[in-house]
Chain A
Amino acid sequence: MLIVVSIGAKFLTVYLSSRSQGYDTQTSLKAAFGLSSSGGELVRVVAKGGADWGPQVLLCYQ
């Protein structure tokens, strides 16, 4: 569920904000697709920060 929420929210906000900044539909769609993915190495930093405090669920998400 979180994956769907993450992809959906990112896609929608990037598409709408790109359009509002004057980019055409095709460029906005491509940027939205490109920026929809979650993860990357910064997630490990966030997970570490969260796990230090207590939310162990983050280590599973990572």
Chain B
Amino acid sequence: MFAEIGVILLLFVVGMEFPIEKLRKIGKRALVIAFSEGLDTFAIGFLVCQAVNYSLADSLFLALAISVTSTVIVMRILDELGMIKDETSIIILSVAVIEDIIIISMLAILQSVSSTGGVYSIDLVISIGTVLAFIGGALFVGSKTVPKFVNLIGKTNQHDVLVVAIVGVAFGLSFLAFEIGISVANGAFFAGVLIAESKVHSVTRVLTSPLKDMFGVIFFVSMGALMDITKIPALILPA
């Protein structure tokens, strides 16, 4: 659970570096890169899995699994290297967000195929529509409400209340994302993007940094703890 909190706070603080205008500038190009990366990696992964005699099901899901990029780790490294405001970071993050949408859509297709033996367009439309509605709602409705709310709290000069309010926004959107099947990291990222639109975003960044650092460490420890070294000999070759 602490690891999940670390992911949320890390991506939330990263999101504060990316106001909506910055993301809009790069949107079309990120879309092209994300589609070519996600679909090409999936196709190549599938062909390689088939070549080493994995079953059709194993090949499909393994190919999809290797198509996912680890946004959290990459963003943490860029943050530590002081490169978070570079053009590269904006490309990486925009591509990672779009890629998540592609992966979720493809997962919906695979699950539809696996459970029914065919592709049902209604399931697919619902799945993609839900993700797009979440992002659209977060950006369009959120940008009109969240910055105003945060500005209002900021005017009180009560830093403790401000921390509770912005962390509440981060966890609220993360919970919403989790409930509709998107990564909590995406919800937290969009919460950060919305806070970046407020007048007190520089104060909020300073206030949330210690929380991000503390829970971020727990996230990386838990990632290491997931590793079962007894399985390495059996999996080293296929991996």
A residues neighboring B (CB under 8 Å): 1-3, 5-6, 9-10, 13-14, 16-18, 20-23, 27, 30-31, 34-35, 37-43, 45-47, 49-50, 52-55, 57-58, 60-62
Known contacts A38-B67, A53-B61, A62-B226, then 9 further A-B pairs from the complex at CB < 8 Å, ordered by chain A residue: A1-B239, A6-B41, A13-B40, A17-B33, A35-B37, A46-B64, A60-B234, A61-B62, A61-B65
Number of residues of chain B lying within 8 A (CB) of chain A = 59
In contact, B32 and A20 (Cβ under 8 angstroms): yes
Contact of B239 among A2, A21, A47, A50 (CB under 8 A): A2
Max chain B Cβ within 10 angstroms of own Cβ: one of A14, A34, A37, A49: A34
Q: Per-position contact with A for B47-80: 1 when CB-CB < 8 Å, else 0? A: 0110010110110111011111111111000100
Q: Per-position contact with A for B20-52: 1 when CB-CB < 8 Å, else 0? A: 000000000100110011001100110011001
In contact, B45 and A46 (Cβ under 8 angstroms): no
Number of A-B contacts (CB under 8 A): 160
With the chains together, A53 CA to B116 CA distance in Å? 11
For the residues of B in contact with A, the DSSP-based class is helix
Within 8 Å of chain A (Cβ to Cβ): is B91? yes
